[in-house]
């Protein structure tokens, strides 16, 4: 059997808000993007995610339709020489987008594939469908709303979250698979179940495995959610607006963190849209990145249960920022956490979070 798919990327401004997508048919496609990236990064990421999406079918031939000569030549002509030279070009300069290319090099091993160049914007059905979805993802990031991630490939466990962010114009970082049991924000109940279900043999533990409820949105299509309507003024969350001038910031931030840990708030995508800063970012202990859009979609799908916490400190780290540190408790164990809240207009919003399992 041959899997035929088109892969495409888009960047508004190049660099600018960027998107990527691959497309097999209306029931089998996937898209994502970053707030800042290039067209070439989008093209590479589309191909990388396609290989990852079909990794569970290593015996199938992969026929990739691509309108980017840069991508095709990078993979089929230039990459062997770059590797021999330590990922440097003939002139000695570092190869651009090297992290994406290294990930692609790993995914290509043992796979059967061939590329076919197709002219872009020329009416080719598969190419146009991929282009439309990549451009829609870039537009979503430009507008600050959630991009549709698509249904994904049946049976796949994707390694790249649809909302992963690019670190800059020079390269778009690729997310490593989450370590089993890594405690990500708000997801302790799912993690406890994941730990309970984790295979015990050493061979299986080496497989890149994720909890689908946490990180794999491939099986979800959020077309029915109008994220464009998540305007801040539409969701005046009690305690989030107007109190910045009437309550001590440390006390207010602690109250808001506790609200955010409750399932009623987590399950309300409008309320989480108010509490999470538009540039919210979480970095897990494995290096996996969560964006605001990805987090909101995950929480709305499964808000979990209330998490008990022990506050360790609430410290002003600037006139408009409070660092909250605490210990959270779950069946899977305790986790030390830090949350950076910043004053955005007249609201305190969560800008950054990180959690580390306690020994």
Q: Which residues are catalytic?
A: 8-9, 43, 67, 121, 131
Let me know: does 33 contact 141? Beta carbons within 8 Å.
Answer: yes
Q: Which two tokens stand for residue 239?
A: 């305690």
CA separation (Å) from 129 to 26, 35, 358?
9, 22, 46
Let me know: does 306 contact 264? Beta carbons within 8 Å.
Answer: no
The three-state secondary structure class of 141 is helix
Work out whether strand 289-291 and strand 308-318 pair parallel, antiparallel, or are unpaired.
unpaired
- Put the strands of the sheet holding 347-357 in their side by side order: 289-291, 276-283, 347-357, 333-344, 321-330, 308-318
Q: Which letter does DSSP use for residue 39 in this model? A: H
Q: How many helices (H) and strands (E) does the chain have?
A: 12, 11
Which of these, 211, 166, 200, lies nearest to 39 by C-alpha position? 166
The single residue listed with the structure tokens 């164990």 is 333
Count of beta carbons in the 10 Å neighbourhood of residue 243: 18
Let me know: does 240 contact 347? Beta carbons within 8 Å.
Answer: yes
Let me know: does 72 contact 117? Beta carbons within 8 Å.
Answer: yes
How large is the greatest C-alpha to C-alpha distance in the chain, in angstroms? 66
Bridge partners, 29 (sequence order) = 23
The three-state secondary structure class of 350 is strand
Work out whether strand 28-37 and strand 333-344 pair parallel, antiparallel, or are unpaired.
unpaired
Which of these, 106, 67, 62, lies nearest to 83 by C-alpha position? 106
Q: Taking the CA of residue 162 as centre, how many other CA atoms within 13 Å lie in the half-sphere pointing to its CB? A: 37
Let me know: does 223 contact 151? Beta carbons within 8 Å.
Answer: no
């Amino acid at each position: 059997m041959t899997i035929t798919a088109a892969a495409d990327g888009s960047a508004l401004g190049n660099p600018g808000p960027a998107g990527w997508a691959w497309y097999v048919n209306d029931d089998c496609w996937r898209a994502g993007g970053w707030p800042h990236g290039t067209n070439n990064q989008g093209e590479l990421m589309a191909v990388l995610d396609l290989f990852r999406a079909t990794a569970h079918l290593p015996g199938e031939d992969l026929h990739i339709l691509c309108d980017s000569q840069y991508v095709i030549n990078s993979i089929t002509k230039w990459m062997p020489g770059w590797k021999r030279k330590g990922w440097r070009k003939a002139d000695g300069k570092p190869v651009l987008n090297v992290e994406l290319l290294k990930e692609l090099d790993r995914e290509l091993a043992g796979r059967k594939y061939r590329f076919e160049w197709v002219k872009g914007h020329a009416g080719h059905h598969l190419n146009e469908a991929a282009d439309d979805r990549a451009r829609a993802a870039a537009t979503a990031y430009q507008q600050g709303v959630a991009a549709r991630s698509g249904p994904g490939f049946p049976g796949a466990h994707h390694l790249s979250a649809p909302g992963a962010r690019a670190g800059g114009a020079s390269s778009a970082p690729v997310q490593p698979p989450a370590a089993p049991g890594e405690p990500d924000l708000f997801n302790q109940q799912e993690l406890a179940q994941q730990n309970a279900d984790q295979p015990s043999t050493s061979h299986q533990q080496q497989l890149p495995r994720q909890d689908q409820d946490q990180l794999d949105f491939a099986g979800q299509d959020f077309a029915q959610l109008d994220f464009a309507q998540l305007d801040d003024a539409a969701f005046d969350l009690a305690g989030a607006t107007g109190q910045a001038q009437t309550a001590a910031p440390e006390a207010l931030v602690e109250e808001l963190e506790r609200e955010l840990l409750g399932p009623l708030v987590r399950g309300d995508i409008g309320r989480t849209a108010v509490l999470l800063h538009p540039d919210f970012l979480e970095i897990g202990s494995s290096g996996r990145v969560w964006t605001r859009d990805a987090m909101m979609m995950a929480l709305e799908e499964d808000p979990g249960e209330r998490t008990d916490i022990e506050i360790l400190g609430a410290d002003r780290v600037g006139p408009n920022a409070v660092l909250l540190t605490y210990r959270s408790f779950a069946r899977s164990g305790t986790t030390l956490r830090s949350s950076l809240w910043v004053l955005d207009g007249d609201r305190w919003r969560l800008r950054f979070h990180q959690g580390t399992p306690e020994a």
